[in-house]
Each structure stands twice: as C-alpha cells, then as structure tokens.
Structure 1
Amino acid sequence: MKLCTRKICFDILNTADVTSNHERIIDKHKNFTDLNSRDKAFVKVLILTFFRWNRSIEKIINKYSKKKSEKKIINILRIAVTQILFMRTADYSAVNISVSLSKKFGSSVSRFVNAILRQVCRDKQEILKSLKREENIPDWIFKNWKKNFSSNSAVKFAHQSLKEPFLDIKVKKEFFKKKNWSKLLNGKPLFGELIRKNNSGLIEELPFFSAGYWWIQSAASTIPVTIIENYFKKGSPKVLEIGSAPGGKTLQLCENNFDVTAVEISKKRAVKLKENLSRTKFNVKLINEDFNKWKSRQKYDCVLIDAPCSGSGVINKQPDILYFKRKLNLENLISRQEKLLKKSLRFLRKNGLLVYSVCSLISEESKDIIYKILENNKDFSLLKLDGKLINNIQVKIIDGMIYSTPTCYQNKGGMDGFFVSCIIKGEKN
C-alpha cells in the first residue's frame, strides 16, 4: 500500500499544473477513492506539505542535482524530499519507495534518484537548520505583511503559516458545560466553546457528531458572530448572511436564535450547508443564488459578509497559492468585494450593522476597501470595535478593525489570518 499511496501522489503532482485547487486534483484521481481513511489522509498530508514547502524543496533538489531532469523524475524527488525533511516517514522507506517508482524510467534514473536522496538523508540536519521558511511565501503577500505589520511579524506569520493546521470544533452552548469535551474529542480548550485538536482521522467518527452537538469552525471565523451577538444583546434580529457555506458562522448565528437568511452561490457548498443544518437541527431561509442577482425588498438589522478573497490568511489550510506561482488577480477580487459591499448596504435598516470579513490580511482587501466604501457612502460610518465586543479574545485591534493573525494564541497553535470590520447605517442609538 505504501507504493500505491506514493504512486497516487506522483500522479497528482504530474497533473498539478492544470488546476489551482488541491481538493479537485486529489479527489479526481481514479484510485484515491479506493484508499482507506488512513491512506487518504497520508496522501493529502504529503501533497499539502509539499505545496507549503515547495520553494525550499526546489532549491534543495537543484543543489544536489547537477543536471536538468524531466518533470516526472523531479516529482519523484519532490515526494521523497517532502517525506524525508517534513514528515515522519522513515528515511529508508522514503528512499526505497521512490527508487522503486523511478525504475520504470530505467536503471540510470533509479541510480540518479537513489544518489540524490541518500545525500539529502546524509545532510538532513544541516538542511533543516538552514531553511528560510519565509522564502516559501510569495513576495506579494510577504511584502504586504511587512508593510502593514512589521518585518518581524511577517517572518513569524510565514513560520506559523507553514505548519500543519489544527482542527477547531465549536460546541453548542447548551451542551458545552455538560460534558468534558477536551477528553471526548482528544483536544484542548481554546476560548469560548472551542476545542482544538490535531487534524487527523475521520470527523464523522468523533463523539456526538451525528447528534449535532458541535460543528467544525475555525477560531477566527467565530469573531464576526460574537460581535453580532454582543451588539444585539436583546431580541432576535434579522440577519442576512452572504457567502454562508459550509456553515460555521450560520450555525453560530442560529444558536443565538437569530432570524437568518443565508445566501450561497455554490450549489455544491449549499448542499453541504443543508447537511450541517440538518445534523445540528437548525433552520434558516437558504437562498442558493448569486447575491448580485438576488432581488428582495426586505430590510435587515444586520448583514454579515464572508467575501471571496485571496485566502492568504489560511495558507496552512489552502497552500495552493504557494505552489501555483502566480499573483492572484487581486483587482478582480477587490472589484467583487466592492460590489458585494455596495449592494449589501441597501439591505440595512437604520442603525443596522454590516459585518465584513475576509480570511486575508492583505490591506487592499481589508482596511483599504472599507475606507473606500465609507468615503463613497456618507450615510454610513465605521463602528470602532473593542475588546468587549469580541469577549476580549487575543487579536490585534487597529483603528477599530480586527486582525486575527497567525501569531495570535501562538502557544496554542495560532489563528487564521482574518480581518473583520463593521459599518453602521446612520448614528448608533
């Protein structure tokens, strides 16, 4: 089975240039679905680990290889070096299986692969000590981090972003104090009703999953609803949520008894949202439609936007951006974000609250877009956020806007890069 999993990884890397979505690349492999859960997890970890460290790995391969090789041979080396340096695979196993993979290309190729990998094994500790983690972060992201935070912060963000992510679980409030969730889920408490655990095994097999007592939700993504909960301390406000699936924030809104209308453009993601709602026994008005084409005269007390963005704050979970070496079309993303914001303002009642969030720390799609919207819409103003509105969790608050960064709660594994800002219509009562 070891050779089979590496062969699948080899095939995946050979086709990785045709798409920028690792889930699609992995899931569409004809033999991946036949693997057991453990081997599926191994394939995903290996591919994602390579994506995270690919620039360092390329440098290492180029250092030891004195000749230019075809892509398939390089991919065998990539798979092996990833395991030798960044995974718990035994060195001899990584070398032997990779040599076996290379034999189909001839004895000279297998000798070449064997020689390079044995040199990497020999120099392993020296290589690990000399690694510059920040070299794996695209310049356009790293420079923006430096500009908006500091050089030291940018380096720390890079280091944290290359680590394998944890799994955050949000337990329903009504059940949180009734059970020892840290023990049940084999995790540790973070804040609120969040339990953090290692991201391994099948989620569906964890205790009380089918009972709907909890759901998967990153710690950072709980912040927007926490703000809404504290802002509207009484009553059951009407909330319009834009970009709802897979549903973490939607479920969090529901457990606060808010009247939720959820708009989701993706049919596939809407199905996932429906499954999560059914499992947790919550109900919302779900609209599976493009928000920009959706028409309604309804006004809402609150609009929550989870805008499409670069995803630069969740590199550890979605490292595609590190491998497909291109700068995203930020102009297009920013245009879409502006369009969502402008239309969303129409649905707010007087004194209504708009909460804008993106999983990015890039200034153009965070603070800059908020200032631009406010400049062009004088009937709206910035609600300056403070610690009380977010239950004093550990995040950066700059000019009344929230930045969750990879170094927040660093001793517990860090947080996603996440930005939240709030706009109110008219004057707050």
Structure 2
Amino acid sequence: MQQLGRAARAAAAVLALAPTERKDAALRAAAAAIRERSAAILEANARDVADAGARDMAASLIDRLKLDGARVEGIAKGLEDVAALPDPIGTVMAEWDRPNGLRIARVRVPLGVIGIVYESRPNVTADAGGLCLKSGNACILRGGSDSFESSRAIIACMRDGLRVAGLPEDAIQLVPTTDRAAVGIMLTMVDDIDVIIPRGGKSLIQRVAAESRIPVIKHLDGICHVYVDAAADPAKARDIVLNAKMRRTSVCGAAETLLVDRSVSETVLPAVLDALIAAGCEVRGDEATRRIDGRAVPATAADWDTEYLDAIISVRVVDGVDAAIEHVNRHGSHHTDSIVTEDAAAAEKFLSQVDSAIVLLNASTQFADGGEFGMGAEIGISTGKLHARGPVGAEQLTSYKYQVRGTGQVRP
C-alpha cells in the first residue's frame, strides 16, 4: 500500500500539469482498448458472476455486478464522453482587482491523489479512473472482492490508455488484493492520499466515515421518494412511478417510497399500483393504501427507512405537500426525490424545501446519474453538503487556489 501511495503521489505531480489534449488522448485510447478486449472483460466478469452465484449473492447485487456487451460498450462510451467534456483544470472561477492594484484570480486545481473504495459495480473502475484522469488527479482504486477479476481487466485498459498518451501508468492503480485490511491501511495514508470517496452499501460508508483519517466525500444509501400531488397528471404519475421503481431496482436512484396525496389517492393510486404489481413489484402499504388495494402487504415502521434495491416499494397516503416534505426530510437519505404535479406553487415548495442533493419535478428519480446530467460519468452521488453534493463528476474532483499578481506592492 505504501508503494501504491508513493507511486500515485509521483504520478499526480505529472498529471496536474498534463495538457488537456494528452489527458483526452489517454481516455480515448482506454476506450478503444476496452472495446478491443471486450471478450476478455466479459470472461473475467463471468468468473466474478459465477463466484457470486456460488455464494448466493442477492439477485439485485448480481445485476449490479454483471456485464454484457451493451454495458461494456457503455463503459467505453462513458470514457469518450468524459474526454469530450471541458477540462476543469486551470479554469478561472472568478477574478477581480483590488484598489492597491493587486489582481486576484480563483483557479481550479486537482485535489491530488484520490482513494476510491467501492463495491460490486465494475463500471465504477472505468468511471472513477476516467474522471480522476480528466480532473488531473491520480487515483488508487479499491474495488469490491465481488468484481475483482472484472476490475483487473478494465484497469489494464485504463493503464494502456495512459501509456499510449505518454502519461504515467501509476496515475490509475488498483489495490491488488481483496484483503479487507488493505482498506484499513488506505484510510490512514494521510501523506499519500488527499481525499477518500466510498461508494457502496451503508456498512462500507459507515466504516470509512468512522475509520478514515483522510477527508471523505460520502455517497450514502438512496432512500428516494416520489410524491404524487393532488394536482398530478394521472398518466404522468403512473409512468414516472413505474420507471422510478422498476427501470433498474438495484441503482441508488431507484424510488423506494411512494407518497400520494389523500385527495387523489382513490382515483390515481389504483392505476399506479396496478402497473407496479403487474411489473412484479411487491407493495408494502399503510392502512389507507391497503384499503384501496388489498394486494398490498402491511408496511412496518422500518419500511419508511429502508433502501430495498429490489422490486419492493413502500406506499403512504399523506395530507398534502407539507406532509410529503416532512416525510421525505425525516425518512429520506438526502439523495433524490421527485414530485409529480401540475401545480406550480406545490412544485416550488417541494423543490425548495426538500433537503436532498437532487430534487425533481415531473421526472423519474432514475435520472440521478452523472451521465444524465451531462457530466459524462460519475463516481457517485454525494449526499453531504461540504465540497461536493449530488453527482460527483470531473469538476467536483477539483479544488481551487488563489493566484495573486502584483507590480511590487508591499503591505503597509
């Protein structure tokens, strides 16, 4: 781990000064290598999936782990999308002149070396490496043991891209062991790592937050809500809820709780529940929901605080937008929440008062994704409020410094 850290620090010094053209060339070369080695990546992934199946991993987690040709192409395309983004490094965020003649500029700079700890999803290997590269940061990646073979195959392509572009291969490194002790060591490497970003389940995030001696950008669980307001369009409500829950149940932007205004619960909710149940979703409802549809099973107090990552949704009937906002702010994880309504006043109240990183109007929570935001990719959705919030893309992996230009001024 110390060798990884020293190598990353040396690579970061080079990468911080690398021209945009060379970084973009490395990203495009990595994308080409991923396409060329698609079969090898899929073979490595098949070994990971087979091992996960032998250990009786949950189907939703296997879905996160599994790659196919389309997903491999998506990984390559994501790197090309990152290459096409503006380079944040060197951007002048603000500048001004002082009465004494000093010219002050606030300029974006890399964070340095970023340690990323994540679970299951092999695409994070490419997303994280690509975004760190674009933002001039070296990275040390510690992927989950579940995706170890897949990540090794992808990281080889990323390092080939760096080599082709004449950049240090050690700008992107993978911890070469699945031993959990490596994570503990990583969290203490204050001289070699500037920021830690964990991406995974609650237990991983809690461990990193508790043990890290390095600043952490946290990606917490996604207890996401859709609130169907009294002024909702019924067809929009049905389509948005169905997509938010069932498009991919294993992603952090999947809706876990549906809230419906009491005044429209008996007219709007039946069609929504029909669509969910027909799609194979289990409904756990409060008493009002179960009176409307007897197929719903009773929701417990724990359901309102649960991230299912599965075809399960909890449903509650509430008394208006204020009650919906209170429920979301109390039970949500400050990740992503949506309101369905044609009432502009209700929409603005929800958008301004729900304390989440992403708040949507008349749109599925599954848009909680850096790619959908035009960021090319993301390392995760930060639910904290310091440094970065929402999708963490290349720009969010930067800091800034002040450049002050004078003409001989001395302070009296």
Asked whether the two chains share a fold, i.e. TM above 0.5, the reply is no
More helix by share: 1
TM-score (norm 2): 0.29
